[in-house]
Amino acid sequence: MKANFQNFAALFLLSFLLSNCQTVKKYVESGNYDDAIDLCVRKLRGKQKKQTEYVQGLEAAFKKAQDRDMALVNSLMSEGRPELWEKIHVLHLDIMDRQNKVRPLTPLVSSKGYKAQFEFVDISRMEINSRKNAAAYLYDQATVLLNRAENGDKLAARKAYSLLNDLGRRYYQNYLDRVDLMAKARDLGTSYILLEVKNQSGKILPQDFTDRLLAISKQELDSEWKAFYFDAKPGEQFDYKAVFNIRNIDISPERIAERAYVDEKRIQDGWEYELDKRGNVKKDSLGNDIKKPKYVNVRAKVLEIHQTKAARLGGFIEIIDANRDVSLESCNLATEVVFEHFAATYKGDARALSKETKVLLDCSPLPFPHDLDMLAQAADRLKPELRHELRGSRAIL
């Protein structure tokens, strides 16, 4: 039994090793050299007895990967195009990473005495050179874009910002005046918008109406390249104006409608004795008096009071190019605030009242809200719509 288990374990191990070796071979044959290298390094690292198949597989995959990448580097460099330095630098990093994986294993000799040969490239100087050239290319491109941005091209400024950000992230944090140019690109690429409210309704608004309508935090409106402001200081320049023009203010009269109706029920009202034809009280089989429920009809007169008042506020938001004073986009906005209240009183028998009427009886008539208070509520209700339209405006770049 023990011998059978040992044989099975040996066969399983052999099968596992053959499977891994076949995987390395497939990686190499399909051009996935770095996958083959990673697999072989994992199988060889820290092992006293190194499988010849993995040693040879690592040797073959490494040579093919190096030859491929160096040939591509030479081809790209021969074109002499500055925009290719980024690709060249990526290839240099790949070569450096690959060599750093394999070098700690050298000299690499298998348990059967096979010694692998690796040809390492002096990649450090190459990587430094490609990094400098790639950074210079991004810097030059960003400078060209910033020149366009100074003539009003905000998209060019944003692209310049992205290139300078890549330069710092991938190559050098402190490259020339990169930080200052990024601040410049941020300013030139940002759209500055002044938000205003204009009352064109011909009616008086509450003193704090505009403040309530514009009580939107900058964080709710601002995005990466859009900055909103709610007041203009002398000398400030804006790219856009977002103006909410109030056109319609309609407040209905205070209305009270009354409706009278009758609640009526047939209910049990005590007991009465059941009599025979002679007028005597009937008896049951045990000699007890027979009683039956007594029903009566009850009524109650109900007066229902219905109070209503509405305030409607409407207008449109307009996006204006502040430099050319040209309207770019407009969108209608409107809202309505409705005050509605029910109450009731009654006369008669309370036992006749329905469930619905009893609910109304718990309420008393209320004082109508003031016109200005309802307009203030309308401003609060309109605010989310205003925020939504401003954030989603396609007219603001």
pLDDT in tens, 122-142: 999 999 999 999 999 999 999
Residue 353 domain flag: no
pLDDT of residue 269: 76
pLDDT top residue among 210 and 73: 73
> Quick check: is 58 in a domain?
yes
Q: Which of 80, 100, 93, 85 is nearest to 37 (CA)?
A: 100
Alpha carbon distance 275, 191 (integer Å): 96
pLDDT for the residue numbered 7: 46
Residue 362 lies in a domain: no
Q: Is there a domain that residue 51 lies in? A: yes
Domain boundary among 102, 121, 140: 121
Domain boundary, last residue among 73, 90, 121: 121
Q: Is residue 109, in this structure, part of any structural domain at all?
A: yes
- What is the number of structural domains in the chain? 2
**Is 303 inside any structural domain?**
no
Could you tell me which residue, 332 or 6, shows the higher pLDDT? 332
Report if residue 373 sits inside a domain.
no
Q: Residue 209: its pLDDT value, please?
A: 80
Domain end residue (candidates: 72, 96, 121): 121
H-helix or E-strand spanning residue 9: helix 2-29
Are both 105 and 76 inside the same structural domain? yes
End-to-end CA gap in the chain: 79
Contact 314, 295 (CB under 8 A): no
Compute the distance between CA of residue 249 and CA of residue 209 in angstroms, rounded to an integer: 13
pTM for the whole structure: 0.73
Residue type, 288: N
Confidence of residue 31 (pLDDT cuts 50, 70, 90): confident
The predicted-structure confidence for 44-84, as pLDDT tens digits, reads as follows: 988 888 899 999 999 999 999 999 999 999 999 999 999 99
Q: Considering only CA atoms, give the Rg of the chain.
A: 43
For the chain, count helices (H), then strands (E): 11, 6
pLDDT at 234: 81
pLDDT over 60 at 18, yes or no: no
The band of 1, judged by pLDDT with boundaries at 50, 70 and 90, is low
Specify if 164 maps to a domain.
Answer: yes
Q: Which residue has the higher pLDDT, 60 or 287?
A: 60
Pick the range with the lowest mean pLDDT from 182-186, 251-255, 362-366. 362-366
16 pLDDT band, cuts 50/70/90, is very low
Q: What is the mean pLDDT of the chain?
A: 88
Quick: pLDDT tens for 360-393. 888 888 999 998 888 888 888 888 888 889 988 8
Average pLDDT over residues 337-353: 89
